Amino acid sequence: MLMKAKKPQKSSPVTTAVFPGSFDPLTNGHVDIIERASEIFKRVIVAVLFNPSKDALFSQGERVELITRQFARYKGRVSVVSFSGLLVDFVHSTDSRVIIRGLRAISDFDYEAQMALINRKLAPQIETFFLTAREEHSYISSTVVKQVALLGGDVSGMVPKVVLDALSKKRLERDRLRAKPLF
């Protein structure tokens, strides 16, 4: 009696990808990566990292709310959640095996490749996909946006309107606090 060799089982196709970051604030570069990832995957989970070592301009809840409002028209194809701890643990808690990372410049690749290798060591079944920023967004970073916005510069071409409005409110709040007399 001959036994047929079993074909190796293939993994099921991945339909969900996780795009992690601090998103403080969400930039047009982030929006571009999320939109493009949503064309590749049926669902994209934007995972807003709580990192107590970073001095955030927006609270974690504010960041989740801004991103949720920006992608409301995607009706469940883009969801936004917050998380803390190891990214691979969070990815395991979702229906995904894919991490999306955006690259602006070659300098980003060194850090991102190191993180991808660490994540692969921790969870070999999770893959990292890199999407390069479109040229018009390659100079934008959340850090630069915060600095320019809080100094009164025009960031309207760097962030979506929902974030631009929130940045304006933050600047007004900061200016009001500075103007208050101490006594």
164 contacts 58 by C-beta, under 8 angstroms? no
| 104 catalytically annotated | yes
| 92 catalytically annotated | no
**Candidates 54, 134, 161, 174; catalytic one:** 54
Report which residue type is found at 144: V
DSSP 10-51: PPPPP-EEEEEE--TT--HHHHHHHHHHHHHSSEEEEEEE--
Other CB atoms within a 10 A radius of the CB of residue 125 amount to 10
Rounded Cα gap, residues 138 and 5, in angstroms? 50
**Candidates 43, 63, 101, 104; catalytic one:** 104
* Coil, helix or strand at residue 151: coil
| 75 catalytically annotated | no
**Candidates 43, 101, 137, 142; catalytic one:** 142
Active site residues: 30, 54, 104, 142
